[in-house]
């Protein structure tokens, strides 16, 4: 199995931002020492989520402090970036990291409309804007000179410099939610990032992805590599006992959900409504906290003493998931507790899962 460390941690006040950013950097660097294969950075703005807000600048600091771990984005909100500037920034990051960059792309948050509003946008056209921006990225990295005349972007540039370290460019990962997205990404042969799917849904969605890879005519090596890379997100918390892990994880997850619901209620425009089909018990404000917490603990979390965590991860592996994105910090959880959980995971979980098929 492969293990990625994913961060989505909150700074509770502006006065704590600097300290929390330092702690996030320390945790991300420790992920390399603990044996993780990759580090994945999220992107959120204006309420203290993701702490650093801008994952590109944060990634540059991480690139200078690590040597082995790959650095990924889960995901870049494409509607919030001009794609030519983004192409330049990612090319530089790829060079600074000596080709350790993985670029997860998405349309942007489907819940936090205030993030679009903060950039003078709305989310209505975020999907076609994203698709055009991805087209700009790939063409800017591969064409010289490059001219573009699209709906959202029009430009001419003589040549993009620096060129990416990885050729022709860093891997572009897609965030997938719906069943059709798994099939389509399989046809395209692109690596995927999946959210907190239940064990049952992982097996079904991986089957769709595999079928899409076959329909796309990709060779055996590509199919094998993509299935090995396909990543699924889990909350992960390791403690000395199962009971301690459950109590401590439940407390911080409950605080995180309260914050999430508060900022969406306070800052989203009155005319914004989330597509009901995209809601689940965790993200649906109509679901009581206790029910939402039970749902995410049962279907989206791996927690307990090391032995229980190993069992849960083995079940996910057997369902087809060979690449876990482990969110190991939650809300404003204390730095020392995050580091203790990471240490146990690195010492008592990763080696055991690496030594099995």
Predicted confidence at residue 355, as pLDDT, reads 65
Predicted confidence at residue 250, as pLDDT, reads 97
Q: Is the pLDDT of residue 357 over 70?
A: no
Model pLDDT for residues 188-210, shown as the tens digit of each residue: 999 999 988 989 999 999 999 99
The total domain count for the chain is: 1
Average the pLDDT over 83-110 and give the result.
97
Model pLDDT for residues 223-254, shown as the tens digit of each residue: 999 999 999 999 999 999 999 999 999 999 99
Percent of the chain whose pLDDT exceeds 70: 99
Average the pLDDT over 311-317 and give the result.
97
**Sequence-separated (6 or more) residues with CB below 8 Å from residue 45:** 53, 80, 115, 118
What token pair was written down for 237? 């918390």
From CA 61, how far away is CA 163, in angstroms rounded?
20
Q: Is the peptide bond before 75 cis (omega within 30 degrees of 0)?
A: yes
Q: Does residue 264 contact residue 111 with C-beta atoms inside 8 Å?
A: yes
Average the pLDDT over 135-152 and give the result.
98
Predicted confidence at residue 277, as pLDDT, reads 86
Predicted confidence at residue 232, as pLDDT, reads 97
The pTM for the full model equals 0.97
From CA 181, how far away is CA 174, in angstroms rounded?
9
Model pLDDT for residues 46-72, shown as the tens digit of each residue: 999 999 999 999 999 999 999 999 999
Element (H, E) at 314: helix 306-318
Domain harbouring 80, CATH code: 3.20.20.30
Give the structural domain span for 263. Answer: 2-354
């Amino acid at each position: 199995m492969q293990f990625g460390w994913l961060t989505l941690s909150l700074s509770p006040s502006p006065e704590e931002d600097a300290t929390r950013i330092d702690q996030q950097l320390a945790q991300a660097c420790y992920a390399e020492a603990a044996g993780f294969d990759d580090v994945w950075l999220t992107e959120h703005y204006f309420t203290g989520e993701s702490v650093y807000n801008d994952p590109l600048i944060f990634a540059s600091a991480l690139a200078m402090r690590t040597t082995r771990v790959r650095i990924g984005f889960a995901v870049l909100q494409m509607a919030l970036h001009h794609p030519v500037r983004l192409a330049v920034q990612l090319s530089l990051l790829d060079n600074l990291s000596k080709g350790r960059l993985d670029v997860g792309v998405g349309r942007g948050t489907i819940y936090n409309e205030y993030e679009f509003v903060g950039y003078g946008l709305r989310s209505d056209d975020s999907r076609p804007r994203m698709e055009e921006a991805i087209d700009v990225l790939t063409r800017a990295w591969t064409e010289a000179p490059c001219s573009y005349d699209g709906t959202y972007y029009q430009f001419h540039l003589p040549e993009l410099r620096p060129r990416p370290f990885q050729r022709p460019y860093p891997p572009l990962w897609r965030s997938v939610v719906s069943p059709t997205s798994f099939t389509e990404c399989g046809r395209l042969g692109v690596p995927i990032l999946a959210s907190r799917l239940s064990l049952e849904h992982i097996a079904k969605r991986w089957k769709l992805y595999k079928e899409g890879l076959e329909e796309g005519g990709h060779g055996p090596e590509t199919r094998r590599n993509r299935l090995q890379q396909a990543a699924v997100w889990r909350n992960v918390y390791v403690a000395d006992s199962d009971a301690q892990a459950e109590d401590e994880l439940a407390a911080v997850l409950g605080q995180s959900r309260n914050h999430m619901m508060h900022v969406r209620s306070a800052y989203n425009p009155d005319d914004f409504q989330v597509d009901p089909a995209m809601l689940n018990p965790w993200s649906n404000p109509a679901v009581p906290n206790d029910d939402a917490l039970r749902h995410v603990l049962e279907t989206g979390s791996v927690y307990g003493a090391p032995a229980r965590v190993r069992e849960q991860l083995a079940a996910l592996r057997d369902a087809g998931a060979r690449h876990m994105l482990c969110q190991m910090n939650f809300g404003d959880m204390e730095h020392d507790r995050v580091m203790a959980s990471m240490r146990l995971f690195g010492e008592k979980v990763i080696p055991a899962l690496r030594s099995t098929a």
